[in-house]
Chains A and B, each alone.
Chain A
């Protein structure tokens, strides 16, 4: 089934540890995104990639890094996790960055940093 796969589904992580959230899509979409969702704040953009080999910063990029080595994968790395990074993380993609394209969202990763 075409779509986005996020892994893990949930994770409890000790503060200070490194963690990579995985996101893979099989739709050959050029543009990919990482959002975090926090209660009362909605979804906020962390990083994005308009095409393989390029990345950009969103609204809340601090403490996170991304890479886009190929079209399908867009991993999000927390180099040294802190409790404020406890959140639900959604990966999304769409065919192109042009506004007329709709988004496909993954099912999310629930991360708890203790």
Chain B
């Protein structure tokens, strides 16, 4: 069975602080993909990144960066210099040979 654990239910930070959202996954599939989605207060799901199991290179996109470590089954997401617009619920998800499995989400509040 596949499982995604986001241990942090809620995080509050002050604007301009860095914040890391943790994601740990379980799967027996050798080929799989990991995702991060953002859900702003408006409710839609915004795709942020997809990473396949054979690519452990870290990725940076502007203020966002992702650290994929297969050895610890983790795919953590860091926001540098957080902004109020980053306030949202963030979901980590896993797709192997079964449909996408989501973590329970982390609600991030960035306070001005």
Contacts and interface: CB of A to CB of B under 8 A. Distances in A.
Interface of A: 31, 33, 35, 40-45, 48, 58, 88, 90, 92, 97, 99-100, 102-103, 105, 107-108, 110
Contact of B104 (A35, A40, A48, A88): A40
B99 A58 contact: yes
Interface string B70-112: 0000000000000000000001000111011111110000000
B45 A99 contact: no
Contacts of B31: 99
Contacts of A43: 91, 102
Contact of A33 (B91, B99, B104): B99
Interface residues of B, number: 24
Interface of B: 6, 9, 29, 31-33, 35, 43-45, 47, 50, 52, 91, 95-97, 99-105
B43 A88 contact: yes
Contacts of B9: 40
Report whether over half of chain B's contact residues are helix, strand or loop; otherwise say mixed: loop
B40 to A, nearest CB: 12
Contacts of B44: 105, 107-108
20 contacts: A31-B99, A33-B99, A40-B9, A41-B104, A42-B91, A42-B105, A43-B91, A43-B102, A90-B45, A97-B99, A99-B29, A99-B32, A99-B33, A99-B97, A102-B47, A102-B50, A103-B47, A103-B100, A105-B44, A107-B44
A44 B45 contact: no
Nearest to A31: B99
B100 A45 contact: yes
Contacts of B99: 31, 33, 45, 48, 58, 97
A103 B103 CA distance: 16
A33 B52 contact: no
Nearest first, the 4 A-B pairs at minimum CB distance are A42-B104, A42-B102, A43-B102, A105-B45
B100 A33 contact: yes
B90 to A, nearest CB: 11
A110 to B, nearest CB: 8
Given A43-B91, A99-B96, A108 B47 contact: no
